[in-house]
Amino acid sequence: MDLHTVETYLCPTQLESLPNWQPGWAWVAGGTWMFTEPQRDLTTLVDLQGLGWSELEVSPEGLEIGATCTMSRLLQFDYPAAWTAIQALQSAVQELASFKIQNMATIAGNLCLALPAGTFAPVMVLLDAQYEILQQAGNRVWVAASDFQTGARQTILQPGDVLRRIFIPQALLQWQVNYRRMCVATAGLAVAIAVAAYNPQTHQVRFAIAASLRAPRLLEFHSIPSLRELEETLSAQIPLTEFIEDDSASALYRRHITQVLMMRSLQQVIGE
């Protein structure tokens, strides 16, 4: 789509060379969302691609994903065999409504867009990811994935702040994972997402749920929960009023489907 209000396109190779951030400016990464909707408030796009932030790096500490790393790169990379939880990241790519965007869209762009049905945010919350943010004021801060998305299309980013990289610690990358997503229309956005992670040594279980809520949430269990425990914990920790009610599905339906997906993903990770 032609963004007819945009008059200036900047593609810096260093952040320092960028003029002061102005109202009407926006970052663009893969552009797969940016160019699909009219952006009437925008006058300037600042392209991240020239900054060379596309790293995907494995270290003994964990996995680092740069701001312009694409989704398809995440699928093709060679990871340590012990990192079974990479499967959840790869499912997040494969579960996107459109496979056509994978070569351009970035993981960071998906997180910053902060759709309730965003496929990556629950995985990052599940795996205790941390995000490095470069603030307009010049500070670098690290925030937990669970604190980043605050609502539907809302994050803690202030105008001009940029998500520089994502870090996933290696400990949780060794858990067994399973990703479940449910839509009411074949190519539509999800009404519920549940991702389970299981530690076969300690029998701890954690779930991240999304799409049925405005922002992803984490639920943790010290041992494998029964269906009843799972139902009780879900009801106790997340009131029905927090589930999204819209034309696609009622809050009650979303909560029910969330629970079904949690149970199915749990059965899968514990091998039942």
Ligand X SMILES: Cc1cc2nc3c(=O)[nH]c(=O)nc-3n(C[C@H](O)[C@H](O)[C@H](O)COP(=O)(O)OP(=O)(O)OC[C@H]3O[C@@H](n4cnc5c(N)ncnc54)[C@H](O)[C@@H]3O)c2cc1C
List residues near ligand X by CB under 6 A: 26-34, 36, 48, 67, 96-98, 101, 104-106, 108-110, 112-113, 115, 117-119, 157, 162-163, 189
Whole-number minimum distance, CB 32 to ligand X, in Å?
3
* Residue nearer to ligand X on the CB measure, 21 or 33: 33
Whole-number minimum distance, CB 48 to ligand X, in Å?
6
Whole-number minimum distance, CB 100 to ligand X, in Å?
7
Between the two ends of the chain, the Cα-to-Cα distance in Å is: 48
- Candidates 122, 92, 148; CA nearest to 208 is 122
Q: 């803690």: which residue's tokens?
A: 156
Residue 196: strand pairing partners: 178, 207
* Residue nearer to ligand X on the CB measure, 41 or 78: 41
Whole-number minimum distance, CB 38 to ligand X, in Å?
13
* Residue nearer to ligand X on the CB measure, 101 or 205: 101
Q: Which residues contact 101 (CB under 8 A, 6 or more apart)?
A: 30, 32, 71
> What whole-number distance in Å separates Cα of residue 225 and Cα of residue 247?
32
- Candidates 9, 198, 209; CA nearest to 87 is 198
* Residue nearer to ligand X on the CB measure, 1 or 236: 1
Pair type for strands 205-210 and 217-221:
antiparallel
* Residue nearer to ligand X on the CB measure, 106 or 178: 106
Whole-number minimum distance, CB 163 to ligand X, in Å?
4
* Residue nearer to ligand X on the CB measure, 80 or 159: 159
- For 23-82, give the DSSP string: TTEEEESS-TTGGGS--TT-SEEEESGGG----EEEETTEEEEETT-BHHHHHH----TT
Q: 């629970």: which residue's tokens?
A: 259
Whole-number minimum distance, CB 220 to ligand X, in Å?
24
